Amino acid sequence: MKTADQYIDSLRRLNLTVYMFGEKVENPVDHPIIRPSLNSVAKTYELAFDERYEELMTATSSLTGKKINRFTHLHQCADDLVKKVKMQRLLGQKTASCFQRCVGFDAFNAVDSTTFEMDRDLGTEYNQRFRDYMVYVQEEDLTVDGAMTDPKGDRSLRPSRQADPDLYLRVVEKTKDGIVVRGAKAHQTGAVNSHEILVMPTIAMEAEDRDYAVSFALPSDAEGIIYIYGRQSCDTRRLEGGDIDVGNCFFGGHEALVVFEDVFVPWDRVFMCGEYRYSGVLVERFAGYHRQSYGGCKVGVGDVLIGAAAQAAEYNGAAKASHIREKLTEMVHLNETLYSCGIACSAQGVATASGTYLIDLMLANVCKLNVTRLPYEIARLAEDIAGGLMVTMPSEQDLRHPEIGRYVEKYLKGVADVPTEHRMRMLRLIENLTLGTAAVGYRTESMHGAGSPQAQRIMITRQANMDHKKKLARVLAGIEKEE
């Protein structure tokens, strides 16, 4: 397993093509806007060597029998699924941001079970290729960007019927050595901090879309891959030199648009190529795993937000007010509800044909649908408790100013024995979690990550088994007899 320092050093050896604000970034590792997100990933390596968290952060490989970082593991039992959620909550607590390895982790498990079934049914050899790849990932302890979401263009049209055929990533050429792909993947969490990219189709494909039914893995610095770094609210505060106004002093997340400009993929890195009937299975399983993830990571960040709101109430002198206590209790209740769903869908997991365990898909979708709602209420209550100063107070530069700093110090004081700077720092942390850069990974990602709310409603409807429920009612109403 890699240490945090070894992970950071390994990124320095990559030759990524990254653009931000219209300029090429020559050194992504040390860029002040990117570095906090890298620190979040590094935490997944650091905690794997902490004896207190070893049970959650590590696992025994089913492929090699060696001790590995859990983020590279193929789930072998329901307890693995439960530990995944607990690990994600822990990391959310430690970083208060997106730690970015979950997408690749979820992709590993979805691709493994799907390729196994493809081989069983079609006589292909994708699963052995994929497991050889997984041994490499585990041995090198790699961070892998799971890339599913395409730009999609006109949502009313199939991939093959778009005005621009590249709006879904596709195979444009096949040779004896491999394939050539063109297109893009959008909203790619942690892409610039990853060693590899594992690509999957984004929707269930039909026969006419077979060129878009493709899954493969490549080094993140492969020729023809371009990263265009995504903007976040308040992101340029990282360039100002201080740390109060950024809120979270150490950690962050990021997304990127990843362009594939006629990129070559060797056959030993191809895990689906035209088997369109299995694209829907892969999408459904990946989405299920990733919706489970939100019952862990968002809960951990929620723990920090609840703590920040409680601390701000103390700094404001309002902690003993009954309505503050009630709001904090409601925040805890909502947060634990999310966690309960994450644990439930994990505990009900079952083995797939490959031996890799899959969560209960119904409960995973219920988990994520709750995540599209409850973090917004938790954030609203945090903003309510914090007060308006969270978004109106002067900057750190004003606090440090030799002439006007004393006014900021004097008039932004809350409780007398609490330094003004401490109060400002706590309010900025709440701002960061609810409105700033961290809000991308907490509020907005809660809505759209792993599929927007309608995607979960569709899956819940599909899996509801309404005929069975109606039969139960007919039996108890005396309309028919129980069989």
In sequence order, the 6+-apart residues with CB closer than 8 A to the CB of 330 are: 377, 381
Name the band, by pLDDT with cuts 50, 70 and 90, for residue 150: very high
Name the band, by pLDDT with cuts 50, 70 and 90, for residue 200: very high
Whether the predicted pLDDT of 149 surpasses 90? yes
Domain limits, the chain:
4-279, 282-472
Name the band, by pLDDT with cuts 50, 70 and 90, for residue 14: very high
Name the band, by pLDDT with cuts 50, 70 and 90, for residue 444: confident
pLDDT digits (tens, 9 = 90+) for 107-141: 999 999 999 999 999 999 999 999 999 999 999 99
Structure tokens at 415: 């409780």
Q: What's the mean pLDDT in 386-395?
A: 97
What is the CATH number that goes with domain 282-472?
1.20.140.10
Instruction: Decide which of 3.40.50.1780, 3.30.70.1050, 3.30.200.190, 2.40.110.10 is the CATH code for 4-279.
Output: 2.40.110.10
In sequence order, the 6+-apart residues with CB closer than 8 A to the CB of 456 are: 291, 365, 366, 368, 369, 372
In sequence order, the 6+-apart residues with CB closer than 8 A to the CB of 130 are: 111, 112, 115, 271
Name the band, by pLDDT with cuts 50, 70 and 90, for residue 419: very high
| Helix, strand counts (H, E) of the chain | 18, 14
Q: Which residue pairs, CB below 8 angstroms and at least 24 apart, start in 327-333? A: 327/381, 327/384, 327/385, 328/381, 328/385, 330/377, 330/381, 331/302, 331/305, 331/306, 331/378, 331/381, 331/382, 332/306
pLDDT digits (tens, 9 = 90+) for 279-334: 999 999 999 999 999 999 999 999 999 999 999 999 999 999 999 999 999 999 99
Whether the predicted pLDDT of 155 surpasses 90? yes
pLDDT digits (tens, 9 = 90+) for 202-236: 999 999 999 999 999 999 999 999 999 999 999 99
**8 Å CB contact between 291 and 364:** yes
Rg from Cα positions in the chain: 24
Helix intervals (H) in 141-194: none
pLDDT digits (tens, 9 = 90+) for 48-80: 999 999 999 999 999 999 999 999 999 999 999
Name the band, by pLDDT with cuts 50, 70 and 90, for residue 438: confident
**8 Å CB contact between 143 and 195:** yes
What are the residue numbers of the active site? 98, 102, 189, 255, 290, 294, 297, 445
Q: What's the mean pLDDT in 149-169?
A: 98
What's the mean per-residue pLDDT of the chain?
97
Strand pairing report for 350-351 and 196-199: unpaired
For the chain, give the percent of residues with pLDDT over 70. 100
**8 Å CB contact between 95 and 4:** no
Rounded to a whole number of angstroms, the distance between the first and last alpha carbons of the chain is 55
User: Three-state SS for 180?
Assistant: strand
**8 Å CB contact between 81 and 47:** no
